[in-house]
Copies of this chain bind each other. A is one copy, B any other.
Amino acid sequence: MGEAGLIELIRRTVRTRGRLKVGIGDDACVLKDGTVLTTDAYAEGVHFDLAYMSFRQVGERCACAALSDVVAMGAEPEVLLVSLCLRHDVRDSDIRALYRGIEAVCRRFGCEVGGGDIIAADRFVLALSASGRTSRPLLRSAARPGDFVYLTGFAGLAETGRLVLKHRLRREGFAAAVRRHLRPLPRLDVASSIGSAIHALIDTSDGLATDAAHIAEMSRVRLELDASAIPVAPATRRLCRKLRLDSTRFVLTAGEDYELLLTSPRVLPRCVGGSMLTCIGQVRRGSGLYAVSNGVTGQVRERGYDHLA
């Protein structure tokens, strides 16, 4: 039934009890006191691949992804919890390397590993939970007609890096792409520098089209992307040519960039805290996700990969 259907099923099955300011359906939940909580699971072969990643890199990548959900609520990460399902053939040095990767990312954000659990299993799975804090959560549902739509970094850069690693292509010219796949550091600087100017906020984990559609749906607005304005790295264009992929489709559907997609009523600077910030569209009255390309406006039906569909 796909991820959206499952979330709806779960939402109908559980009840609210006044503990939460923001419940199921955003990047994370928010308690009444501003505590932000989120959890995500990452499985070998699905979210990371030990064929071309070290345990340290797995730790870094998963920690970045977990903290990204906290940042995408406009919060500062505080604590990370680590549940590990380990295969029996894993070595102590692998676990140490994994935690070194997690720790390196935590250090960068002043965050702390608060605990965890380790169980034996036949597949390597991590479930990371993160907490943070914010006095003003930035929600998917807060876009307003007239807002500009902004994206940090490049769309599809992480997926470019993943494909370079997966197909074992020469890395020349793809260093930044590979880095974005392996270590997708959340843009905390951006969220904290311009937080007061942000209306809606989400991280691009499911793919630009899916995540933009989330904002449109939850804010009950129409999002119009300017296809030519979407920032695409030269490396991504080169890869798309090489693998004969349609680059527009690629950047709309490629997931796990962990960039910030936000709306703001203000014209924002093109660079914030060292991160590129690009205006890629506008919010209008209505509903749905649209793209303007060569003067033609069309509904965007592309969605990121839904591995539950």
Contact of A38 among B38, B115, B119, B120 (CB under 8 A): B115
Return A153 CB to nearest CB of chain B, in Å. Answer: 23
Return A131 CB to nearest CB of chain B, in Å. Answer: 6
Whether A81 pairs with B119 at a CB distance below 8 angstroms is no
One complex includes copies of this chain to the number of: 2
Give the nearest-CB partner of A29 in chain B.
B114
Give the nearest-CB partner of A78 in chain B.
B19
Contact of A1 among B47, B92, B110 (CB under 8 A): B92
Contact of A131 among B5, B78, B115, B131 (CB under 8 A): B131
Q: Which residues of B contact A1 (CB under 8 A)?
A: 92
Return A63 CB to nearest CB of chain B, in Å. Answer: 11
Q: Bound complex: CA of A10 vs CA of B61, how far in Å?
A: 18
**A13-28 vs B, Cβ < 8 Å mask (1 yes, 0 no):** 1111111100111101
> Is A100 part of the binding interface, using a Cβ–Cβ cutoff of 8 Å?
yes
Whether A81 pairs with B115 at a CB distance below 8 angstroms is no
A-B contact pairs, 7 of them (CB 8 A): A14-B113, A19-B79, A29-B79, A41-B85, A41-B118, A83-B83, A83-B127
